[in-house]
């Protein structure tokens, strides 16, 4: 492929690499090269990781050489965009400049020009796609030297690492539009409309699953945004998230990126290129991958929903339930914060009859009356450590019976990726924590059909999901503490 006078690079599936001197082989060589560079070099491994997030206390190896100047740290470090509609364009630029830096390092260590960043398609049809790519598994290479792609402390250090169906779900690809609401109803495929956002608030659907929960599942350095980019698998994970953005925009002509000037040109981001020079970019420059920096494309952006009848049917039902421009109604809330100290925690949400009636009247007054779309908001989740992911269920048990996951309806996952950063009182969101929004329309419809939907109260269950193939990393994990500030239900 050609982009003017240069060849567009093709990013390939890591599961199909690892044989001979391919892009994955040269990635390992270049990681070793970048790790040998001084910390204050913007093209060094640790400086590049710090752009996403950095905390000296959490870095097991502060690298070599002096730290960058404090002014540079403040300007260029901890700039990653999360819980925002800038999540995807910011990371696309971040990956592109990293790819350029690695490509130059590949040539320096004797490799070919035009290197492209591989991606890890953990949601592929092949069951092996859910395994950690072989190149990242062993601490040493065949010649006995240290493997630059291996990181100690992941939740699994062997190739039996297996991700669950829920963690690799691509249900987010069925949703439109790109931008959503910051709270209450649909957060959007790409995230809610915000200003610059470095952790705190509501994640978009793609950011929630699979992005956040993959970070949780791998754990170790990857489980914390202030260390995540120190793990070489981080870059392949984000290449896949970037690829899924491409899949989304190509799978349906109505799935389009925002056209608002505030998104296209409202915020300027800064990074360093492979020469160490400062470069800037805006979201509008990130729309066409073949025109981003050196230009790149993916070897596969086919629609995975076409091969999954259940997801395709779900997508069709969701699209039929059009979202009309009227405000969501807050119809139910929990009364006290919920501490998730045990593997299964139940909480009660109480409905307000007046707001339920007002929501029903509002929906009946629409040009085409319809039942409500129902959204479960898990608000202001705060805490410490790396608690991982929680499965979330709703349940309406008979009087006198305890709510149990097996008797309820699974409605989604709640990730705690970025929990500490979002919980700090001195942070940009004043420690308000994370918020996960789960659409529960389908489950509510099932409950209604069984005469089990009780618009007076509802139980919500949080079930701690164990990491894949629990390993020694969990023994070493820092103690975790999680609190859900409020559970709310909105009709929209």
142 or 247, which is more confident: 247
Pairing of strands 434-439, 201-202: parallel
Q: What is the pLDDT of residue 143?
A: 79
Other CB atoms within 10 Å distance of the CB of residue 136: 25
Q: What is the pLDDT of residue 476?
A: 39
The burial class, CB within 10 Å (0-12 / 13-18 / 19+), for 382 is buried
Give start and end residues of each alpha helix (H) in 131-192: none
Q: What is the pLDDT of residue 436?
A: 97
pLDDT at residue 321 above 80? no
User: Across all residues in the chain, what is the average pLDDT?
Assistant: 89
Find the helix packing angle between 441-449 and 309-320, rounded to 10°.
Answer: 90
Q: What is the pLDDT of residue 183?
A: 74
Q: What is the pLDDT of residue 314?
A: 63
289 or 6, which is more confident: 289
Q: Which of 427, 51, 62, 53 is nearest to 225 (CA)?
A: 53
Average pLDDT for 357-381: 91
Other CB atoms within 10 Å distance of the CB of residue 312: 15
Q: What is the pLDDT of residue 312?
A: 65
* Radius of gyration of the chain, Cα coordinates, nearest whole angstrom: 23
Average pLDDT for 471-476: 40
Render pLDDT for 137-151 as a digit per residue (tens, 0 to 9): 989 887 788 999 999
Fold: same for 2-310 and 325-491: no
The DSSP bridge partners found for residue 487 are: 378
pLDDT at residue 102 above 70? yes
pLDDT at residue 458 above 60? yes
Phi, psi (degrees; rounded to nearest 5) at 220 = 60, -135
Query: Which CATH homologous superfamily contains domain 2-310?
Result: Di-copper center containing domain from catechol oxidase (1.10.1280.10)
Is residue 100 within 8 Å of 294, Cβ to Cβ?
yes
Q: What residues have CB less than 8 Å from 421, skipping those under 6 apart?
A: 53, 198, 199, 200, 225, 226, 427
Q: What is the pLDDT of residue 472?
A: 40
Is residue 30 within 8 Å of 102, Cβ to Cβ?
yes
Q: What is the pLDDT of residue 474?
A: 41
Q: What is the pLDDT of residue 18?
A: 86
Q: What is the pLDDT of residue 354?
A: 95
pLDDT at residue 96 above 50? yes
**Tokens 């319809």 found at:** 370
Average pLDDT for 156-180: 85
Lowest-confidence range among 184-198, 210-224, 304-318? 304-318
Q: pLDDT-based confidence at 317, cuts 50/70/90?
A: low
What single-letter DSSP state applies at residue 137? T
pLDDT at residue 468 above 70? no
Average pLDDT for 63-70: 89
Largest CA distance in the chain: 73
The burial class, CB within 10 Å (0-12 / 13-18 / 19+), for 58 is middle
Q: pLDDT-based confidence at 157, cuts 50/70/90?
A: low
Find the helix packing angle between 23-35 and 45-52, rounded to 10°.
Answer: 100
Type and span of the H or E element at 261: helix 261-264
pLDDT at residue 471 above 70? no
Structure tokens given for 479: 């103690």
The top-level CATH class assigned to 325-491 is mainly beta
What single-letter DSSP state applies at residue 288? -
Q: Which of 441, 390, 399, 444 is nearest to 417 (CA)?
A: 390
Give start and end residues of each alpha helix (H) in 374-462: 419-423, 441-449
Please tell me the pTM assigned to this model: 0.94
Q: What is the pLDDT of residue 425?
A: 87
Q: What is the pLDDT of residue 470?
A: 44
- 113: preceding bond cis by omega (within 30 degrees): no
> Read out DSSP for 38-61?
-TTSTTSHHHHHHHH---GGG-S-
Render pLDDT for 182-205 as a digit per residue (tens, 0 to 9): 778 899 999 999 999 988 999 999
pLDDT at residue 248 above 60? yes
Count of residues for the chain?
Answer: 492
Q: pLDDT-based confidence at 20, cuts 50/70/90?
A: confident
Distance between CA atoms of residues 141 and 138, nearest Å: 7
Average pLDDT for 443-467: 89
Q: What residues have CB less than 8 Å from 233, skipping those under 6 apart?
A: 120, 132, 133, 136, 149, 151, 218, 222
Distance between CA atoms of residues 7 and 303, nearest Å: 25
Task: Determine the Cα angle at 74 with ends 294 and 104, to 5°.
Answer: 25
The beta-strand segments (E) located in 148-205 are 179-180, 191-192, 201-202
Lowest-confidence range among 125-129, 187-191, 417-421? 125-129
Q: pLDDT-based confidence at 431, cuts 50/70/90?
A: confident
Q: What is the pLDDT of residue 313?
A: 63
Domain map of the chain by residue range? 2-310, 325-491
Q: What is the pLDDT of residue 325?
A: 60
Q: What is the pLDDT of residue 127?
A: 83
pLDDT at residue 427 above 80? no
Distance between CA atoms of residues 88 and 236, nearest Å: 15
Is residue 219 within 8 Å of 231, Cβ to Cβ?
no
């Amino acid at each position: 492929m050609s982009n003017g006078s240069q060849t567009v690079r093709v990013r390939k599936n890591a599961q199909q690499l690892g044989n001979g001197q391919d892009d994955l082989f040269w990635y390992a060589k270049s990681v070793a090269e970048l790790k040998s560079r001084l910390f204050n070099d913007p093209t060094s491994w640790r400086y590049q990781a710090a752009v996403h997030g950095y905390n000296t206390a959490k870095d097991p190896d502060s690298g070599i050489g002096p730290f960058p100047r404090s002014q540079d740290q403040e300007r260029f470090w901890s700039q990653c965009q999360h819980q925002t509609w800038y999540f995807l364009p910011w990371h696309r630029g971040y990956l592109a400049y990293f790819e350029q830096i690695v490509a130059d390092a590949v040539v320096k260590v004797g490799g070919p020009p035009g290197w492209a960043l591989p991606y890890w398609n953990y949601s592929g049809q092949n069951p092996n796609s859910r395994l950690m790519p072989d190149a990242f598994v062993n601490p040493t290479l065949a010649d006995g030297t240290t493997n630059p792609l291996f990181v100690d402390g992941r939740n699994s250090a062997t190739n039996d690492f297996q991700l669950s169906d829920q963690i690799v779900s691509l249900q987010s690809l069925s949703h439109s539009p790109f931008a959503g609401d910051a709270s209450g109803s649909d957060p959007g495929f790409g995230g809610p409309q915000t200003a610059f956002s470095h952790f705190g608030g509501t994640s978009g659907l793609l950011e929630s699953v699979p992005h956040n929960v993959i970070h949780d599942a791998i754990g170790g350095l990857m489980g914390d945004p202030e260390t995540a980019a120190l793990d070489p698998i981080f870059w392949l994970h984000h290449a896949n998230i970037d690829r899924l953005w491409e899949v989304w925009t190509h799978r349906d002509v109505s799935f389009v990126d925002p056209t608002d000037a505030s998104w296209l040109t409202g915020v300027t981001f800064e990074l360093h290129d492979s020469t160490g020079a400062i470069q800037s970019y805006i979201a509008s420059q990130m729309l066409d991958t073949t025109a981003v920096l050196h230009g790149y494309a993916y070897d596969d952006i086919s629609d995975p929903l076409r091969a999954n009848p259940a997801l395709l049917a779900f997508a069709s039902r969701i699209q039929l339930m059009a979202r009309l421009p009227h405000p969501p109604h807050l119809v139910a809330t929990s009364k006290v914060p919920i501490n998730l100290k045990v593997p299964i925690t139940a909480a009660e949400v109480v409905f307000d009859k007046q707001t339920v009636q007002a929501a029903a009247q509002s929906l009946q007054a629409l040009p085409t009356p319809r039942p409500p779309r129902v959204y479960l908001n898990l608000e202001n989740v705060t805490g410490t450590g790396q608690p991982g992911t929680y499965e979330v269920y709703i349940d309406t048990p008979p009087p006198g019976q305890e709510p149990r996951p097996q008797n309820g309806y699974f409605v989604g996952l709640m990730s705690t990726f970025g929990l500490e950063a979002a919980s700090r009182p001195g942070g940009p969101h004043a420690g308000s924590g994370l918020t996960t929004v789960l659409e529960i329309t389908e489950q509510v419809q099932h409950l209604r059909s069984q005469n089990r939907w009780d618009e007076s109260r509802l139980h919500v269950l949080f079930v701690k999901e164990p990491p894949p193939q629990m390993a020694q990393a969990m023994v070493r994990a820092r103690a975790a503490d999680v609190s859900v500030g409020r559970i709310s239900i909105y009709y929209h």
